[in-house]
Amino acid sequence: MSRAADDLKDFQRFTPKKLPVEEPLAPGHRACQGCGEVLALRQVMKALGNNVIVVSATGCMEIISSAYPQSAWRVPWLHVAFENAAAVASGVEAAYKAMIRKGRIEDKNTTFLAIAGDGGTADIGIQALSGALERGHNFVYVCLDNEAYMNTGIQRSSSTPYGAGTTTSPPGKKSIGQQTWKKNMPAIAAAHDIPYVATGSPAYYVDLMNKAKKASLVKGPAYLHVFSPCPTGWRCAVEDAVQTGRLVVQTKIFPLYEVIDGKYRLSRKVKKPKPVTEYFKLQRRFRHLTEEDVAFIQERVDREYDRLLELCGIAPEE
C-alpha cells in the first residue's frame, strides 16, 4: 500500500469559492427538518462527485433517501442490511478489482463509499468494519454520528456522550442518563494502521469536504467520523443544528483532526475554547445535568483534548 502522504501530495483543496456543483444526493428526500446528518452526507457526496458507488447501512440516511419507488440517489446505491456496510463495500470493491483485472470493465478510478450511523459503526457494525479495515480494501467508510439510534427512536448507543438523556438511558433519580463515555471510534479505526482517518463536522463544511476527498484519494481504507447534529433526537431547535456542530468543536468536545499514515494532525486549534455548557444549553438531552455533572464532564473534555494535542505533537496551553 502506498503511503497516504504520497497519494495526497497533489491534492487540490476545495475553497468556499470553489465548490463542486454536483449533487449526487438529490434534494427531495424525507429527512427531518434541520437534519445535520443529511447535510453532512450531502457535503461528503458533493466532495466525492458522481464517480462513486455508495453502500448504505440500514438507518436514517437509508430510509429517508430510498423509499421505493423513489430514490434520492443519482449515483449507484446499494443497501443490504444494518451491520454490514463495510462488508458489502468490501465485496463491491473486490468485484471491481477482479473485473478490471480480467478485462471485463474499464478502470475508471471509482470511489467505493460505505456509510453508516454510529450504531451501525460503533456497535452492531464494528466487526464488519474492523474486518474490512484490516483486509485493506480500497474504500471510504463514513460514520455519520448522531450519537444514538435515532431511526428507531433515540435509543443510546456506545457513541452517545456521557450524561445525555435518550429513551434507553433516561435520566432519573438513580441515573444521570448515559453512564458511559463516548466510544472513541476514530482511535479504533486508526489502530488498524490504515492510511487515513479524520473527524469532521458539517458546520465546517469545507474542512469536511476536503477530508472526504482526501479519504477517496488515499489507496486503502479511509475512515471519516462525522459529527451529525440531530435536532429531533437531541431536542434542540432545528435552526440550531449547524450551531451545535460548530459549538461541539469550539468547546473541544469533538475536535477536528486527521490521522495520516498514523500521524495525528489537528485541523483546527481551538484558541479560546468555550465552556461545555455553551454546547449543552442548546440541547434538552443535557438539561438535567447539574453544575457538578458539568464540571465533571468539563474536566474529562479538557484532559481528552490535551491528550489529542500530545498525539499531534502540540504542547497543551495552560
Partner 1 sequence: MAKRVGIEVSIAVSEAVKLANVDVVAAYPITPQTHIVEHLAELVADGHLDAEFIPVESEHSAMSTCCGSSAAGARTYTATSSQGQALMLEICYIAPALRLPIVMTVANRSLSGPISIWNDHSDMMMSRDTGWIQTVAENGQEAFDLTLHAFRVAEDSRVLLPVIINLDGFTLTHVIEPIEILDQKEVDRYLPPYQPQMRLDPEDPVSIGPVGMPEVYTEAKKAQDEAIKGSKEVILEAWQEFGDLFGRYYKPVETYRTDGAETLLVTMGSLSETAMTAVDHMRAKGKDVGLVRIRLFRPFPFEEFLAAVEGAKQIAVMDRALCLNGAGGPLAIEVKAALYDEPERPYIWNYVAGLAGRDVTIENFVEMADGVEAAAADGLRGHYTIINVRE
The contacts of residue 69 (CB under 8 Å, 6+ apart) are none
Answer for which of 37, 41, 73, 256 binds partner 1 (CB under 8 A) is 73
Closest to 52 (Cα-Cα) out of 111, 140, 138: 111
Contact residue for partner 1 among 27, 69, 272, 318 (CB under 8 A): 69
Q: How far is the CB of 212 from partner 1 (least distance, A)?
A: 16
- For partner 1, which is the closer residue by CB, 53 or 248? 53
Q: Which of 9, 17, 18, 108 binds partner 1 (CB under 8 A)?
A: 108
Candidate residues 1, 81, 237, 311; the one interacting with partner 1 per rule CB under 8 A: 81
Enumerate residues 109-128 that contact partner 1 by CB under 8 A. Answer: 110, 127-128
CB 146 within 8 A of CB 101: no
Q: What angle do CA 289, 294, 300 make, to 5 degrees?
A: 135
Least Cβ distance, residue 221 to partner 1 (angstroms)? 14
Q: What is the enclosing helix (H) or strand (E) of 295?
A: helix 291-311
Query: In this complex, which beta carbon is closest to partner 1, that of residue 7 or of residue 83?
Result: 83
Is 158:241 a contact under the CB 8 Å cutoff? Answer: no
Is residue 237 at the binding interface for partner 1, with CB under 8 A as the rule?
Answer: no
For position 99 contacting partner 1 by CB under 8 A, the verdict is yes
Decide: is 20 part of the binding site for partner 1 (CB under 8 A). Answer: no
**Long-range contacts of the stretch 170-179 (C-beta < 8 A, 24+):** 171/288, 176/288, 176/289, 176/293, 177/285, 177/288
Q: Is the peptide bond before 20 cis (omega within 30 degrees of 0)?
A: no
Binding to partner 1 in span 134-153, by CB under 8 A: 134-135
Residue 83 or 240: the one with the smaller Cβ distance to partner 1 is 83
φ/ψ (deg, to 5) at 13: -70, 150
The answer to whether the CB of 272 falls within 8 A of the CB of 314 is no
Please give the residue ranges that form the binding site for partner 1 (CB under 8 A).
50-53, 55, 62-63, 66-69, 71, 73-81, 83-84, 87-99, 101-102, 104-105, 108, 110, 127-128, 130-132, 134-135
